[in-house]
Amino acid sequence: QQQVKQSPQSLIVQKGGISIINCAYENTAFDYFPWYQQFPGKGPALLIAIRPDVSEKKEGRFTISFNKSAKQFSLHIMDSQPGDSATYFCAASITSGTYKYIFGTGTRLKVLA
């Protein structure tokens, strides 16, 4: 119930391609879904986030697609660049009454030049 399942574990994409990372959850009480980006040697940093009242959120080349009925959400990176090579974590939380995020297991993305 509390898990967030993330796939794939690793991903290799050519420069200019589209990177897609998927997450699925069970707990329908989750109502906030952020993505964190982590470069080697650094801590994760918030990349983009979505609430379930919208089906899509776009910030530059990064888009979150949200499917409430399927309990799935995904991160799309358009025109992927070598500088996007990082580990990406999805997460979910309940914005009232709890303190914590449930993180996915992470996806290591490598964008080839």
Partner 1 sequence: DVKVTQSSRYLVKRTGEKVFLECVQDMDHENMFWYRQDPGLGLRLIYFSYDVKMKEKGDIPEGYSVSREKKERFSLILESASTNQTSMYLCASSQRDRGLIWGNEKLFFGSGTQLSVL
Return residues touching partner 1 (CB under 8 A).
Answer: 6, 9, 31-32, 36, 41-46, 49, 89, 93-101, 103-106
**Residue 16: CB minimum distance to partner 1, A:** 29
> Which CB, 17 or 32, lies closer to partner 1?
32
18 or 29, CB closer to partner 1?
29
Taking the C-alpha atoms of residue 113 and residue 106, their distance in angstroms, rounded to an integer, is 22
CB 65, min distance to partner 1, A: 19
Nearer to partner 1, 83 or 97 (CB): 97
Nearest approach, Cβ of residue 59 and partner 1 (Å)? 14
Rounded to whole angstroms, how far apart are CA atoms 4 and 26?
A: 7
CB of 101 to partner 1, least distance (A): 7
Burial 82-113 (b: 16+ CB within 10 A, else e): eebbbbbbbbbbeeeeeeebbbbebbebebee
Q: Tell me, what amino acid is at 14?
A: Q
The span from the CA of 12 to the CA of 35, in Å, is 19
